[in-house]
Structure 1
Amino acid sequence: MSSAKSDSSERVEIDGMYILKVALIPLTLAASILFLYLYVKPIEQQSATMLVAPKSRDMRAEQIRMFALNEIVKANSHDLPPRSRNISAKALCKQKLACAPFNRRYETMIRVAPQYKMVNCVVQKSMSTMMTGAMCYLYNETQYEKSGRSFDDEFSGRLCKNQNEFSSVNSVRDAFNISYVKHDWTFSMVTRNPIDRFVSGYVDRCVRLALKNETQCNGCGLNMTCFIETEYKRLMEISYKRKTHRTMEDAHFFPQVWHCDLNEEFEFFEFIQYSGNAEDKMVPQLQDLLERQNVPEKSIEFIKNELIYKKSSHSTTGTPAKRFYYSRLMKSPYLLEFIVKMFYYDFLRFHYELPPGF
C-alpha cells in the first residue's frame, strides 16, 4: 500500500516536472530570440534622416592579404628597365603629351559646416573618410555625439549623406551666397605626397581588397609595374581623348589637382598637408583653421582626439605590403618616371619634393 502511494507520488512529481519543463520551452525560446535580436543583429545607428548599417567586411582577411609578402614578392620579382633618358621632371613634362595636365576637372566632393562657415573638399586617399567625419561632426555636433559614432564609421556609411554634401564649388557659393571677393568662409583641402598617396592607394585597392573581377586594378593583380603602366595609359587617354569610362581605381589614383574644381578655384583654397603622424603637420594646421573659424575648444578637442588616437580601419600605414611597394618604387627610376608624369602638378602645386633624379 505504501509502495503504491510512493509510486503514485513519484509519478505526480515526474509529471509535474515534465509539465514545468514543457512550459519553460517557449520562455527559453523567447529569451534566445531576444538575445539574438539585441546582440547578433547588424548594428544600426539612426540620425534625423537616415539609417546607417555598416557593410560587412572581413577585416581579418584584409589584414592577412597586406601581410602575405610571399605572394606580393612573387608577383613583383621581375627586373625593371632603366629610364630611357635621365632628364628633369620639368624637361620631361615640356614634351608633348608626356605628363597629365593641370587643368582637368575630374571629381568634386564637398562637405560643409555652415555654422562655422567652413567648406572642405575631400579626395580619396587623402584622409577623405576622417575629414568627412570631421565635417559631419561640425555640421551638427550634438547629433554626431548622440550617435556614438567615430569618424572611421563614415567608411561604411555617411551620417550626413545628402545633408552637408555638394558636388561643385559653384553650388556651395550659390547655396550660401559666398562672394568671390570678400567673405569669411574658408575653403580647405587635405593634400598628400603623391608617392605616398599612390602606394597607399595601390595597397588599399589592389592588395587589401580581394580581387572580384578581371578588370579590378586594371587586371594586374599584385603586379605594381603592370598597374602603373596601364593606369598611366588610362590617365593620358582621359586627359587628351576625353575617355569617359572611369573606375574606382581612377578615383583613388587620378591627380589631386583634378579634384575640387581646382582648375578654376585653386586660389581660393588653403591646403592642409597630410602626415602619417597626424600631430606632425596636419592637426596643427587644421587646429589653426578651426580656431580662426571660431569652433569651440571642446569641438576642436573632439576632432583632434579622432584624428590622433583613432586609426582608419582601411589604413595601410605600417603594413609589410606598403613598405615593400614603397621600397620597390623608390628604387626604380623607371617606375618613378611614370609617377612623375602622372602627378607632376601635384608635386608642383602642393609643394612636395620631387623624387631624387628628377
Structure 2
Amino acid sequence: MHKPAQNFILVVLIFSILFFILRRYYDDSKEFTPGGFIKPFVSYAPPRFFTAPKNNIIACGIRNSFFHITQNLMCLVYNETQYLADKRSFNDPWTSSSRDCASEKSFFDPSESVQNDKDTVRFAILKDPFQRFVTLYLNKCVEKNECYDCGSDMRCVVKKLYNSLAEIQNNTNTTLVIGDIETEAAPISWNCNFHEGIEKWKLMRMSSDLEKRISAAAVLLERLREQGVKQAVFMRIHNDIVYNDIANTTQTSNKRDEAEKQVREDQIVRHFLHKIYLMDYLVFRFDRRVLDPEYKKIEAKFILNSVAK
C-alpha cells in the first residue's frame, strides 16, 4: 500500500477515535434539565382528609395509593366500637350509607383545634408512582373505560394525561374544569395540601410486596399507639392492611402483570410516565431503580430547587 494511502487511513482512524471519545464524554457529561417535566406541589387536587379527633390524628387519602386502606383505617379509629359492631372490614365496598363515620362532619373536616394542636399526628400512605399509575389504569381505563377516548390504549392514556396535567400546572384560569382522571392521576405532591409543607407529615411508603407492607404497617401501628389507639384494634388493623391488598391484587393479577410489563418495556409509555412522575420519586425518595438510567442518580435537591424557581 502506498504511503499517502496509509497516512490517509491513519488520519481517518485517529479522527474516528477522537470523535467517539468526545461523543462519549459529551453524553456522560450532559446535565439533566427539568424542562418539560410536571412540577411538584401544584395546589390542584382537592385534599381528602379523614380525622380521628379524640386521638388527634389526621390522615390524607391519596387516590390509587392505598386510599381504601386509609379510609377504612381511619373510620375504625374514629369509632372502633361502632365499626366492629357493624362487622366491617377493609374489603367491604365503601358507601356513605354503609359507614357510620361517613355521616359525621368531624370525620372529614378536621377542626381548628385538632389542626393546631402540637400533638396532632398527620400521616399519608404512599405508593410507588408507576405502580400507582398501573392501579389507576386498570380501574379507570381497563375496567370502566373512563380514560378520555383511549379505551385501554396505554400510550394514548399517558400522552393525554401528560398534556392535561401540563395545561393545569401552566394555567392560571381558576375556572379550568377539573377532570376526574386528572384528580386521580395527579402527582402525589399535588395532594394533601403538601404545597404548604410536607415536613409536618408522617409519610409511609407502602407496596404490594408482603414484606414491605408488613414493615410499613408496623410503623403505622406504632404511630397509632403513640396517639392512644386501643391495643384491642391493633391486630385487626394489621391483618386488614396486610391481607386486604393481596386479595385485590390477586383478583386482577393477569391484567396487572400485562400492564406492569408495558410500563417496564414500552419506551413511549415510560417517556411520559417519567415526565409526569419523576418529581414524586425525588420529593418522596422512592426507590429509583425502576427509572431509566439517566434519572437514577440525578441530584434531587438541585433539580427540585430548579423547578421551584
CA–CA distance in structure 2, aligned partners of residues 311 and 89 of structure 1 = 41
- Paired with 1:340 and 1:165, the residues of 2 have a C-alpha distance of 36
2:192 is matched with 260
1:231 is aligned to 2:136:
no
SS at match of 1:327: helix
Q: What is the CA deviation profile of residues 240-279 of structure 1, one whole-angstrom value per residue up to 9, with x for unaligned ones?
A: 0246222222222110110100000311101011110355
Aligned identity (percent) is 22
**1: distance between equivalents of 2:187 and 2:28?**
22
Query: Equivalences for 1:298-317 in 2 at 5 Å?
Result: 298-311=232-245, 315=249
Query: Which structure has the highest helix share of the two?
Result: 2
Is contact 1:204–1:316 with CA below 8 Å preserved after alignment?
no
1:341 pairs with 2:275: yes
Q: Give the CA deviation at 1:132.
A: 0.6
Amino acid of the structure 1 residue aligned with 2:292? P
8 Å CA contact 2:51–2:107 kept in 1: the answer is yes
Find out whether 1:197 has 2:129 as its counterpart: no
Where 2:124 maps in the other structure, the secondary structure is strand
Matches within 5 A, 1:83-102: 91-93=32-34, 95=35, 98-102=36-40
Relative distance call for 1:267 and 1:87 in structure 2 (3 A) is farther
**One-letter identity of the residue aligned with 1:145:** L
- Report deviation, 1:233: 0.3
Alpha-carbon distance in structure 1 between the residues aligned to 2:217 and 2:31: 32
The runs of 5 or more residues in structure 2 that have no matched partner are: 1-26, 296-309
Q: Is the 8 A contact 2:48 2:61 kept in 1?
A: yes
Question: Which amino acid in structure 1 is aligned with residue 112 of structure 2?
Answer: D
| TM-score (normalizing by structure 1) | 0.66
Q: Any conservation in 1 of the 2:37–2:275 contact (CA below 8 Å)?
A: yes
Code of the residue aligned with 2:187 in structure 1: it is: P
Q: What are the within-5 Å matches in structure 2 for residues 160-175 of structure 1? A: 160-163=101-104, 164-166=106-108, 172=110, 174-175=112-113
Work out whether residues 110 and 122 of structure 1, in 8 Å CA contact, stay in contact via their aligned partners in 2.
yes
- CA, structure 1 residues 205+330, in 2 after alignment: closer, same or farther (shift >3 Å)? same
Q: Distance in 2 between matches of 1:338 and 1:162?
A: 40
Higher mean displacement: 274-283 or 298-307: 274-283
Decide which structure has the larger Cα Rg and report it. Answer: 1
**Deviations 1:296-344, CA, capped at 9 Å, x for gaps:** 2211111112112334876577621111121112113332221121112
Distance 1:123 1:235 in 2: 17
Give the 3 Å change call, closer, same or farther, for CA 88–173 of structure 1 in structure 2: farther
Residues 104, 89 of structure 1: alpha-carbon distance in 2 compared, 3 angstrom cutoff: farther
Query: Do 1:279 and 1:308's aligned partners in 2 also have CA atoms closer than 8 Å?
Result: no
Q: Deviations over 1:163-205 (max 9, x none)?
A: 24446xxxx36143614xxx11101001111111111110111
Counterpart pick for 1:118 among 45, 54, 57: 57
Counterpart CA distance in 2 for 1:124 and 1:314 is: 15
CA distance in 2, matches of 1:207, 1:88: 41
| CA distance in 1: counterparts of 2:165 and 2:59, whole angstroms | 25
- CA apart distance, 1:232: 0.4
Q: Aligned runs of 1:209-358 on 2, under 5 Å?
A: 209=144, 211=145, 216-242=146-172, 244-280=176-212, 281-311=215-245, 315=249, 319-354=253-288, 355-357=291-293, 358=295
> Gaps spanning 5+ residues in structure 1: where?
1-85
Distance (Å, rounded) in 1 between the aligned partners of 2:29 and 2:122: 33
* CA contact 2:50–2:107 (8 Å) conserved in 1: yes
Aligned residue identity for 1:155: W
Which region of structure 1 is more displaced relative to structure 2, 184-193 or 345-354? 345-354
Does the C-alpha gap of structure 1 residues 339 and 175 become closer, same or farther in structure 2, counting only changes over 3 Å?
same
* 8 Å Cα contact 1:109/1:165 also seen in 2: no
Matches within 5 A, 1:177-188: 178-179=116-117, 183-188=118-123
Deviation of 1:286 after TM superposition, in Å, equals 1.0
Tell me: CA distance 1:174–1:221, structure 2 relative to 1, closer, same or farther (3 Å). same
Contact (CA 8 Å) 2:56, 2:114: kept in 1 or not? no
Separation (CA, whole Å) in 2 of partners of 1:130 and 1:154? 12
Secondary structure of 1:189's aligned partner: strand
Query: Which residue number corresponds to residue 42 of structure 2?
Result: 104
- TM-score norm. by structure 2 comes to 0.76
- C-alpha contact 1:133 1:154 (8 A) present in aligned 2: no
